[in-house]
């Protein structure tokens, strides 16, 4: 919650959390909140400066896959869920904003589990 005071009046502004913002974005795309996109996209144009996994590695959800740098600002790209990684970028590659740089194929769940 942010409070703004101006000309003797107070206004309260609600600031959504990251989880609320992501849920709203998923809802706008018509995707249920439990679904995750297997494609990992670069959030900004830049250069891949680090790749922390190998193609075909099994990774847990939230693992750092690679790092993109632009103008001395680095952005780590994380696995959206557990699974097997297929990389489409390597160190030194130039990437565009929203370019797919990896795909994390979901881990198979044993039968009987959901």
Kindly report whether the global pTM for this prediction surpasses the value 0.85.
Answer: no
Q: What is the pLDDT of residue 68?
A: 96
Q: What is the pLDDT of residue 16?
A: 80
- 68: alpha, beta or left? (left if phi > 0; alpha if psi -120 to 50): beta
- Per-residue pLDDT 10s for the chain (114 aa) are 778 888 888 888 888 887 777 777 767 766 554 557 889 999 899 999 999 999 999 999 889 999 999 998 999 999 988 999 999 999 999 999 999 999 999 877 655 554
CB 60 within 8 A of CB 79: yes
Q: Tokens at residue 75, please?
A: 């952005």
- 98: alpha, beta or left? (left if phi > 0; alpha if psi -120 to 50): left
CA angle 87, 88, 91 (to 5 degrees): 85
Q: What is the pLDDT of residue 86?
A: 95
Give the sign of the dihedral formed by CA 39, CA 44, CA 47, CA 51: negative
Phi, psi of 67 (to 5 degrees): -125, 130
Q: What is the pLDDT of residue 15?
A: 81
Q: What is the pLDDT of residue 107?
A: 75
């Amino acid at each position: 919650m942010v409070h703004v005071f101006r000309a003797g009046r107070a206004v309260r502004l609600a600031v959504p959390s990251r989880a609320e913002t992501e849920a709203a974005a998923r809802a706008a795309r018509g995707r249920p909140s439990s679904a995750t996109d297997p494609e990992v996209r670069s959030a900004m144009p830049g250069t891949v400066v680090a790749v922390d996994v190998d193609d075909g590695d099994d990774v847990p959800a939230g693992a750092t896959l690679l790092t993109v740098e632009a103008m001395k600002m680095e952005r780590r790209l994380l696995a959206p869920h557990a699974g097997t990684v297929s990389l489409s970028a390597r160190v030194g590659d130039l990437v565009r904003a929203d370019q797919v740089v990896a795909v994390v194929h979901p881990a198979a769940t044993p039968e009987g589990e959901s």
